[in-house]
Amino acid sequence: MSATVLVAIASGSEELETVTIVNVLRRADMEVELVSCEVAPQLTIRCARGMNLVADKHISEISTQAYAAIVLPGGMPGAANLGQCQPLVALLKQQQAKRQWLGAICAAPAQVLAKNDLILAAKVTGYPSFQDQLPAAQLQQDSVVVDAQHKLITSQGPATALEFALHLVEQLVGSERRQQVADAMLVTASEA
């Protein structure tokens, strides 16, 4: 395995984004830990559209392991729940201090990153109805925004989840691997 990525979920997380991210990263041969951020140490999470996902671990089981990236799916109230999870927020701050990648999609840039002062000077995007909660001077309208200087990848929502995940692959294991994964999934150039 070339990189370990933590994908955090909580009640109300967007399942399409979560499953797409985990699937694409695993296709790129990355180790992905799907981590429950529920207050009670439960692994089964009921997502925004009623699907149940089973996490690999609970946030209480996470130590100081180094992650190539920590990724936050959106969905409501999932993103708000993630933003209120203090152990996750502490991990995100450690990740940022180590200058390692953070990724957030949909409501997560606003509900997790902005609410916990984790955007700093990075360029950012998010779900349109949450964009007013993001720093106006740094807001971009692209479907996926990669700010390599600040090690932050953000995206707008469910329809952009595949593109977002492929950008994560590119930043974590290279453009050649991204292309291999995209080709194997029959992703056309306009979709990637």
Q: What is residue 136's predicted lDDT score, i.e. its pLDDT?
A: 96
Whether the pLDDT of residue 17 is over 50: the answer is yes
Q: What is the mean pLDDT of residues 35-49?
A: 95
Total domains in the chain come to 1
Instruction: Name the residue range of residue 50's domain.
Output: 4-184
Q: Is residue 81 part of a domain?
A: yes
Token representation of residue 94 = 């450690």
SS3 170: helix
Whether the pLDDT of residue 63 is over 80: the answer is no
The whole-angstrom separation of Cα 37 and Cα 78 is 10
Q: Is residue 180 part of a domain?
A: yes
Q: Is residue 22 part of a domain?
A: yes
Whether the pLDDT of residue 192 is over 80: the answer is no
Q: Is residue 141 part of a domain?
A: yes
Q: What is residue 65's predicted lDDT score, i.e. its pLDDT?
A: 76
Q: Tabulate helix, strand, coil % of the chain (nearest 5).
A: 40, 20, 40
Q: Is residue 192 part of a domain?
A: no
For the chain, give the mean pLDDT: 95
Residue 188's pLDDT band (boundaries 50, 70, 90)?
confident
Q: Is residue 158 part of a domain?
A: yes
User: What CATH number did the domain enclosing 29 receive?
Assistant: 3.40.50.880
Quick: pLDDT tens for 87-119.
999 999 999 999 999 999 999 999 999 999 999
Whether the pLDDT of residue 79 is over 60: the answer is yes
Whether the pLDDT of residue 64 is over 80: the answer is no
Whether the pLDDT of residue 130 is over 60: the answer is yes
Whether the pLDDT of residue 190 is over 70: the answer is no
Whether the pLDDT of residue 121 is over 70: the answer is yes
Residue 191's pLDDT band (boundaries 50, 70, 90)?
low
Q: What pTM was computed for the model?
A: 0.95
Q: Is residue 139 part of a domain?
A: yes
Residue positions annotated with a catalytic role: 106
DSSP 50-92: S-EEE-SEEGGG--S---SEEEE---TTHHHHHHT-HHHHHHH
Whether the pLDDT of residue 1 is over 50: the answer is no
Paired residues of 153 in beta bridges: 103, 146
Q: Is residue 179 part of a domain?
A: yes
Q: What is residue 135's predicted lDDT score, i.e. its pLDDT?
A: 97
Whether the pLDDT of residue 145 is over 60: the answer is yes
